[in-house]
Amino acid sequence: MQRALDFDKTPALGVPLPFFLNVPLFALLAGLLATWAGPQAFASRWNGAALALTHLWTLGILGSAMLGALLQILAVACNVPVGAIRAVSGLTHVLLTTGTLLLAAGFLGWWPAAWISATVLLGLAFAVYLAAVSLALWQRRHQVYRGAREILVPVRGALIALACTVLIGLTLAWSLGLGWPLPDWIDTHVLWGLAGWGGLLLMGMSFQLLPIFQVTELYPKPLSRWLPLLIAGLMLAWTALDASAGMPRLMRETVELLLVGAYTLWAGVTLRLLWTRKRPTPETTTLFWYAGMFALLACAPLWIWMTHGPSPQAGRMLGVVLITGVLGSVVNGMLYKIVPFLLWKHAQDAVIVPDQDPGQARIYLKVLPKMATYIGERAARLQWGAHVAMMLCWTLAAAGWPPAGLLAGPLLIVSATGLAWNIGWALRRYRKALQAMAMLRDSHPELR
């Protein structure tokens, strides 16, 4: 595994940034919807508000962040830059954003025209993105950095899982739009979406990013080599068992148990690596990783409860913990690393040219804000507190406690506003840094 990233391959700021800006915006929207719908949104998995919230989260918040971050990671960590990246990212972003809004509108209003339009837009968004990324992975297969091979296994698995999730999702939405009976594929859609696309991508990122940014030891080699393959195999086995009639339920449950065990093992190892890291004080991103991994540990008892209950609350709680607690925490925390880094890097690249006189570079470096000043640690920690309160409250709301159902929306609004404020602050700082450097250039003729 490689311990360095090739930051010179960083794509233009306009490539990942719009995806990252979607995160607080869709979170605000989900917060407003949950506030309006109240406890009823959490009462059943199948009511319109619950399905709209699910997809504002999975496509608007998590999907946006993961698609944007992957374009960045493939370039800097794997030497796999995606071709025509500006066109691909711009098109995917617009189609994903409008498609997700329409899908949510379809669920809320039980509105066939919205489902059909969402199917077309989301189908195009994922077709463009997956085709461009698959082409890049194929064309650059011989130039991939040696140390990046291990993370490409979970990344490829995650992309295949995304394609399956989307294909099933599109079929379901198209059927709803045309009033056809729904195929019985919802559990497969959920499994491939959360455990496949979400889980494998997070796992791949953790193998690469935790040792570099959290200064942890490397993951044990057998784990990083075999665990993603085991998970992919278990998901295939689960799907085959689910699709074949007459198989005893016990076989499917055994595969689920192994899947839960695999993810619990990864959470345990990740927590140990974070605990024994070389930096003594946790940063906000570390706290988000802790929140995400503890939430993942909580999924094991929830799965046992759901399987042996059987209780509708347990299923709802498991979904909420996975979406807001595991994936939501890691995505939110990742933004506090990646956004300041990108702004700092692009501010520097705007003025410092390779082979430039080092004296000139030093003059600019004096006015360039340091990376740590783009988002204040205190403000980020406060938002972490709001996020943790929100995820606990959403879990209690899914458990059926009405006061939590009333508070869930407002708490998400608070957390999303905090995140929007912190990212907005970083963008203001970036703009000011560019202005300061322009003024410096005007007042020092030798810099021109």
| Closer residue to ligand HEM (CB): 204 or 418 | 204
| Closer residue to ligand HEM (CB): 32 or 186 | 186
CA end-to-end span of the chain, whole Å?
42
Q: Is residue 194 a contact point for ligand HEM (CB under 6 A)? A: yes
Dihedral angle of Cα 263, 264, 267, 269, to the nearest 10 degrees? -110
The owner of tokens 């992975």 is 137
| Closer residue to ligand HEM (CB): 63 or 211 | 63
Taking the complex as a whole, how short is the minimal distance between the CB of residue 139 and ligand HEM, in angstroms? 26
Q: Is residue 241 a contact point for ligand HEM (CB under 6 A)? A: no
Q: Which of 18, 68, 319, 405 binds ligand HEM (CB under 6 A)?
A: 319
* Residue 333: φ, ψ to 5°: -65, -40
Q: Is residue 94 a contact point for ligand HEM (CB under 6 A)? A: no
| Closer residue to ligand HEM (CB): 43 or 71 | 43
Taking the complex as a whole, how short is the minimal distance between the CB of residue 278 and ligand HEM, in angstroms? 34
Taking the complex as a whole, how short is the minimal distance between the CB of residue 277 and ligand HEM, in angstroms? 29
CA distances from 156 to 79, 134, 228, 256 (A): 15, 9, 10, 22
**Residues 51-90: x where in contact with ligand HEM by CB under 6 A, - otherwise, as a string:** x--xx--xx---x---------------------------
| Closer residue to ligand HEM (CB): 201 or 298 | 201
Taking the complex as a whole, how short is the minimal distance between the CB of residue 418 and ligand HEM, in angstroms? 24
Dihedral angle of Cα 27, 29, 33, 34, to the nearest 10 degrees? 20
**Residues 198-217: x where in contact with ligand HEM by CB under 6 A, - otherwise, as a string:** x-------------------
Taking the complex as a whole, how short is the minimal distance between the CB of residue 341 and ligand HEM, in angstroms? 26
Q: Is residue 37 a contact point for ligand HEM (CB under 6 A)? A: no
Three-class DSSP labels, the chain: CCCCCCHHHCCCCCCCHHHHHHHHHHHHHHHHHHHHHHHHHHCCCCCHHHHHHHHHHHHHHHHHHHHHHHHHHHHHHHCCCCCCHHHHHHHHHHHHHHHHHHHHHHHHHCCHHHHHHHHHHHHHHHHHHHHHHHHHHHHCCCCCCHHHHHHHHHHHHHHHHHHHHHHHHHHHHHHHHHCCCCCCCHHHHHHHHHHHHHHHHHHHHHHHHHHHHCCCCCCCHHHHHHHHHHHHHHHHHHHHHHHCCCCCHHHHHHHHHHHHHHHHHHHHHHHHHHHCCCCCCCCHHHHHHHHHHHHHHHHHHHHHHHHHCCCHHHHHHHHHHHHHHHHHHHHHHHHHHHHHHHHHHHHHHHHCCCCCCHHHHHHHHHHCCCHHHCCCHHHHHHHHHHHHHHHHHHHHHHCCCHHHHHHHHHHHHHHHHHHHHHHHHHHHHHHHHHHHHHHHHHHCHHHC
Q: Which of 166, 209, 295, 398 binds ligand HEM (CB under 6 A)?
A: 166
Q: Which of 45, 156, 225, 345 binds ligand HEM (CB under 6 A)?
A: 45
Q: Is residue 163 a contact point for ligand HEM (CB under 6 A)? A: no
The owner of tokens 């690469």 is 208
Residues 95-114 within binding reach of ligand HEM (CB under 6 A): 103
Taking the complex as a whole, how short is the minimal distance between the CB of residue 380 and ligand HEM, in angstroms? 26
Taking the complex as a whole, how short is the minimal distance between the CB of residue 226 and ligand HEM, in angstroms? 24
Q: Is residue 169 a contact point for ligand HEM (CB under 6 A)? A: yes
**Residue 116 and residue 174 in contact, taking contact as beta carbons nearer than 8 Å:** yes
Q: Which stretch binds ligand HEM (CB under 6 A): 163-171, 253-261, 262-270, 416-424?
A: 163-171
| Closer residue to ligand HEM (CB): 169 or 418 | 169
Q: Is residue 172 a contact point for ligand HEM (CB under 6 A)? A: yes
Q: Is residue 197 a contact point for ligand HEM (CB under 6 A)? A: yes
Q: Is residue 262 a contact point for ligand HEM (CB under 6 A)? A: no
| Closer residue to ligand HEM (CB): 174 or 421 | 174
**Residues 119-148: x where in contact with ligand HEM by CB under 6 A, - otherwise, as a string:** ---x--------------------------
Q: Which stretch binds ligand HEM (CB under 6 A): 189-197, 239-247, 404-412, 433-441?
A: 189-197
Binding site for ligand HEM (CB under 6 A): 45, 50-51, 54-55, 58-59, 63, 103, 122, 165-166, 169-170, 172-173, 176, 182, 186, 189-190, 193-194, 197-198, 319
